[in-house]
Amino acid sequence: MFSRCCAFVLASLLFPVVVIAQTSTTSLATQVPTTKILAIGRGTATPEQLRTILPNEVPDTVRLYLTGKIDQWYVRQDGKGVVFLLNCSSVDEARSLLEQLPLGKAGLMKFDLIALGPLNPLRILLTDTPPTSK
């Protein structure tokens, strides 16, 4: 109950910020770095192909997780693939990593890749000057 209330309050506070940012003449979305890539996969492999490829796919995917490239991973509830949250700074980097996995090499898994970054409209709430990066 408490977490729902907090989520509602946060959403209520952020809604005007997002609306103001969307109506602003300057685009805030282009001013933030890409910090994550959301990779939504859809597979086309048959069960027979999966039995052949998964013994190599799983260890290679675990290696990407252990090296920090995969931050989070999920299975789609519709059974059509996987979803990864990748620690990559570009869509090209993420595509390159995923195409090197066995299912990617075989052309049996395609990904929609979405670049993510910090929620830049929050800058409107700041009154101080931003720190300079060194």
pLDDT of residue 59: 98
Range of the domain at 110: 36-116
Cα(15)–Cα(21) distance, integer angstroms: 10
Indicate whether 129 belongs to any domain.
Answer: no
Question: Bigger pLDDT: 125 or 12?
Answer: 125
The DSSP string of 66-104 is HTTSEEEEEE-TTSS-EEEEE--SSHHHHHHHHHTSHHH
pLDDT of residue 25: 42
Tally of CB atoms within 10 A around 11: 10
Indicate whether 122 belongs to any domain.
Answer: no
Question: Bigger pLDDT: 95 or 6?
Answer: 95
Write the single-letter amino acid at 26. Answer: T
pLDDT of residue 125: 87
Residues 59, 4 contacting (CB under 8 angstroms):
no
Q: Dump pLDDT digits (tens) for 18-41.
A: 554 454 444 544 578 999 999 999
Q: Dump pLDDT digits (tens) for 75-108.
A: 999 989 999 999 999 999 999 999 999 999 999 9
Indicate whether 71 belongs to any domain.
Answer: yes
Indicate whether 96 belongs to any domain.
Answer: yes
Residue 127 pLDDT grade (very low, low, confident, very high; cuts 50, 70, 90): confident
Which CATH number covers residue 60?
A: 3.30.70.1060
Indicate whether 133 belongs to any domain.
Answer: no
Indicate whether 87 belongs to any domain.
Answer: yes
Distance set, CA 129 to CA 26, 27, 37, 38, 95 (Å) = 18, 19, 28, 31, 36
Indicate whether 15 belongs to any domain.
Answer: no
pLDDT of residue 133: 62
What does the CA dihedral 67, 70, 72, 74 come to, rounded to 10 degrees? -120
DSSP reduced 3-state for 43: strand
How many domains in the chain?
Answer: 1
